[in-house]
Amino acid sequence: MVVARPVQGKHRTIKNRINVVLLILFLVLPFLRFGGNPFVLLDIPGRKFHVFGLEIWPHEFYFLHLILIMSGLSLFFFTALLGRIWCGYGCPQTIFMDFYDWGAKLLVGSEYGKRPLNTSQKIRQYLAFFILAIFFSFIFLAYFVPYEEIASDLMHARFFAGPDTLAPAAWVVFMVMSVGFAVFNAGYFRENACKLVCPYGRFQTALLDTHSPIVSYDVKRGEPRREGKQKLFEHGGDCIDCNMCNLVCPTGIDIREGLQVGCIACGLCVDACTNVLSKFEKRTLIDYRTIEQVENPDAHRKYLRPRTVVYASLLLCFATAFVYLLVTRIPMYATVLRDRAISALYVPDIGYQNGYEVHVGNQSRKPIEVKIMVLDKRYEILAPQDTYKIGAEGFEKIRFVVRSAQKEEFARTRPIEFKIVDVNEPTHERVVQTVFSYPI
Ligand code: SF4
Ligand code: SF4
């Protein structure tokens, strides 16, 4: 388990600012309501996802797919352009480890991260991890269960799945797993998540090219480094082998050994080396450079290159498709089922009849009134009502019979289409298809 030594500097300051902004977003987003609707809520039992105000219903999961594709492409684009910026500055693992360390430092004191802890300090360290894990897990839970429900369950001590069972409620199971995982991660696993588990680290390393910035050590200036008790700068290179770059590294790697998958490009070793060498009026040996700049320090960064152009173009295409789908979105959905009780009947003097059940959902936040029509003049709908009212975000099952006076020659079944129209917004319509059957 690596606990990095605290460091001050430009990159640490940038990281702190980003951490605070992202933490505030994490803490606030699940509590935001607009017009009574959640801004962000992944309601799995209700099969409705609220993503930044957009309400995604099960038949609209293509929105979610597009969001995931755009996130993936953004990762590709920004990695090619700016290196592993996501790992160093945006990844929740990196950010939460900073907050767990901040909490532990509060209870342990300034020695935290600087030297091995005694038993009492270790107990305080784990106590801090545990308290923060509970707090963060409650917030995380609010992304899946409305916070009003969590508060009500807590106030009424509803910890079980039902009144006559000792099985824990789903949210209690979630909390136990989340807290357990968080304490294990902060207290033991930590840097191994980046080094051994995270697939993004491997993807991102594969996505770098010779023009992507990486954190690297200047071997030409740094070596030969100081060895053992050698006097400062008796050695040929500028590296005084203070080991600070290694001690401040959250994944515990020595960047002087070259680019490694464990380097999350956080730049903290840059701060450490800058602080150390500035005392000797020397420039840092570790910095963000492209692989080309490592070979040739005078090389310029190329932002415009085939890889970045292709990623940006793809991103633009998907973003355009997303906006188009959003703008042309119809807040109503419909499906049709055949009513097995009235399938393929012949009634003398009336004709052939089939029964149907149309399910209409209103995704808007106001009631709507819909009318069902059949798109073929040979059929006639025999419905108990002309129009049907559906409440805000409601759902109706509408049953009706369709009559055909004549039998289709040689046909056992014929396709039939129904149009469901919002009476007050005629552009909001859905067409569903099924078949009309004739008795043998
Ligand atoms: S080597 Fe430097 S940039 Fe890479 S993870 Fe460690 S501290 Fe961050
Ligand atoms: S911080 Fe700089 S001087 Fe110190 S060991 Fe690392 S590279 Fe060498």
273 touches 285 (CB < 8 A): yes
| Binding site membership of 243 for ligand 2 (Cβ less than 6 Å) | yes
Closest atom of ligand 2 to 217 CA is 7
Would you state the pLDDT for residue 4? 94
| Per-residue model confidence as pLDDT tens for the chain (440 residues) | 899 999 999 999 999 999 999 999 999 999 999 888 899 999 988 888 999 988 888 888 899 899 999 999 999 999 999 999 999 999 999 999 999 999 999 999 999 998 899 999 999 999 999 999 999 999 999 999 999 999 999 999 999 988 888 999 999 999 999 999 999 999 999 999 999 999 887 877 778 889 999 999 999 999 999 998 889 988 999 999 999 999 999 999 999 998 888 999 999 999 999 999 999 999 999 999 998 898 888 888 899 999 999 999 999 999 999 999 999 999 999 999 998 777 788 888 888 999 999 999 998 889 999 999 999 888 999 888 889 999 998 889 999 999 988 876 777 888 999 999 999 999 999 999 999 988 87
Task: Report the pLDDT value the prediction gives residue 19, as an integer from 0 to 100.
Answer: 97
Check if the beta carbon of residue 236 is closer than 8 Å to that of residue 229. no
CB atoms within 10 A of CB 352: 20
Instruction: Measure 207 CA to ligand 2 centroid, in angstroms.
Output: 28
Reported as a single tens digit per residue, the pLDDT across 290-332 is 988 988 888 888 999 999 999 999 999 999 999 999 999 999 9
Domain positions in the chain: 1-329, 332-437
Q: What's the gap in Å between 195 CA and the centre of ligand 2?
A: 22
Tell me the best of 241, 254, 255 to mutate to test the pocket of ligand 2, counting ligand atoms within 8 Å of each CB and taking the most.
241
- Per-residue HEC secondary structure of 376-398 comes to CCCEEEECCCCEEEECCCCEEEE
169 CA from centroid of ligand 1 (Å)? 42
- At 153 the pLDDT is 94
- Identify the pLDDT of residue 341: 79
Distance from Cα 245 to the centre of ligand 1, integer Å: 8
* Ligand 1 pocket, residues with Cβ under 6 angstroms: 215, 248-251, 253, 255, 263-269
**Which residue has a Cα nearest atom 6 of ligand 1?**
249
Q: Is the CB of 80 under 6 A from ligand 2?
A: no
- Please report which residue ranges of 279-363 form alpha helices under DSSP H: 291-295, 306-327
- Rounded to the nearest angstrom, the distance between the alpha carbon of 186 and the centre of ligand 1 is 18
| 336 close to ligand 2 (CB < 6 Angstrom) | no
From 85, 93, 269, 286, give the residue whose CB has the most ligand 1 atoms within 8 Å, as the site to mutate.
269
> How far, in Å, is the centroid of ligand 1 from the Cα of 86?
13
230: β partners:
none
Residue 256 CA: nearest ligand 2 atom is 7
Orientation angle between helical segments 170-184 and 119-141, nearest 10 degrees: 140
Pocket test for ligand 2, best of 218, 226, 286 (most atoms within 8 A of CB): 286
CA distance 13 to 182: 25
Distance (Å, rounded) from C-alpha 144 to C-alpha 363? 20
Tally the C-alpha atoms within 13 A of residue 211's C-alpha that lie toward its C-beta.
Answer: 13
Query: Which of 230, 242, 287 for mutating ligand 2's site (highest number of atoms within 8 Å of CB)?
Result: 242
Q: Residue 325 and residue 348: Cα distance in Å, rounded?
A: 48
CB 402 within 8 A of CB 378: no
Q: Does domain 332-437 have CATH number 2.20.28.120?
A: no
What is the CA(136)–ligand 1 centre distance, in A?
A: 26
DSSP assigned state of 265: -
pLDDT at 228: 87
